[in-house]
Structure 1
Amino acid sequence: MDIWLFLMFLAACFGAGATGAMFPPGEWYEKLNKPSWVPPNWLFPVAWTTIYLLMSFAGARVAGLDGSAYAMAFWAMQIAFNTLWTPVFFGLRRLKGALPVMAALWVAVLGCTVTHWQLDFWAGLAFVPYLAWVTVAGALNLAMVRLNPNVEPLEVGKV
């Protein structure tokens, strides 16, 4: 594994993760109805740090391999949707609007898992926790929509 590739993938991950600092949940989120199975707040930074390290490891393992074009395309796709979800959900408060982003993210992470696995067992395995986390996050996003049908999204001009 090339350490420079790892660091470049990690920089992309932490760039995506920076949206969490730019668009924190805030008081409006705390007031929402949440399902009983919502993970505790302390788990989110632990989970994301672990996932970002694993994603970077996986990307670095396969980036230089022959036949890695689809794996890298899925990697790029998942980091783009990963970056987009937080501003849509927390920044714009568009709970319903975040669902298609989450669906696209889930498909991209599944694509990463499969294509990385085809090239390198460990790289594919590294995406399994991310796939599990995004599955839970998608279910949580859907539950939040159902439990909070009257949440008004922010108007773009008023953000």
Structure 2
Amino acid sequence: MDWTLFLIFLAACGGSAATGAMFQPGQWYDALAKPSWNPPNWVFPVTWTVLYLCIANAGARVAQEDGNAYAMGFFAVQIAFNTLWTPVFFGLHRMKAAMVVIICLWLAVAATTIAFWQLNLIAGILFIPYLVWVSIAAALNFEVWRLNRHTPIVT
């Protein structure tokens, strides 16, 4: 493992994670109707910490592989959509727009997972929990939007 590369990718993940610190769920989210399977609030930072460590590890592994151009391109797209979702959902309170963002995120994570898998098996495996979590998050985004679609947008 090239620790410098790992730290570079971890910094990219940190930039994305910073949006979670800047745009926290707060009272607006607490007041929304949520499905019965909504995870408790403490699950989100714990899960994202583990995922960001896996994402950075996977990125550092693939960055060293020959023929990694598309994989790195997909990585850039997924981290961009990852960074965008939180301000759209929690900052702007645009649940429907956030659904579009998370669909793009899911597609980018799926493409990154496949590209990583082809170049480095461990990197591909490290992205699977991320794909699972984004799938759960997309379902949660949809359900929260569906349950609250008539709620006025408060910014």
TM-score normalised according to structure 2 size: 0.98
Other-structure match for 1:45? 45
Q: CA deviation at 1:149?
A: 1.2
Q: CA deviation at 1:65?
A: 1.0
Separation of aligned partners in 2, 1:95 and 1:36: 18
Give the 5 Å matches for 1:1-159: 1-154=1-154
Please state whether the residue corresponding to 1:96 is helix, strand or coil. Answer: helix
Unaligned 5+ runs, structure 1: none
Kindly report structure 1 stretches of 4+ aligned residues shifted beyond 4 Å.
none
Partner deviation per Cα, 1:66-122 (whole Å, 9 max, x = no partner) = 110111011100000000000000000000010110000000100111000000110
How much identity, in percent, do the aligned residues show?
Answer: 60
**How many residues were matched structurally?**
155
Match for 1:126: what amino acid? L
Partner deviation per Cα, 1:32-71 (whole Å, 9 max, x = no partner) = 0000001111110110000000000000001021110111
Q: CA deviation at 1:153?
A: 2.7
Unaligned 5+ runs, structure 2: none
TM-score normalised according to structure 1 size: 0.95
Q: CA deviation at 1:130?
A: 0.2
Q: CA deviation at 1:131?
A: 0.2
Separation of aligned partners in 1, 2:92 and 2:79: 19
Match for 1:51: what amino acid? L
Higher-helix-fraction structure: 2
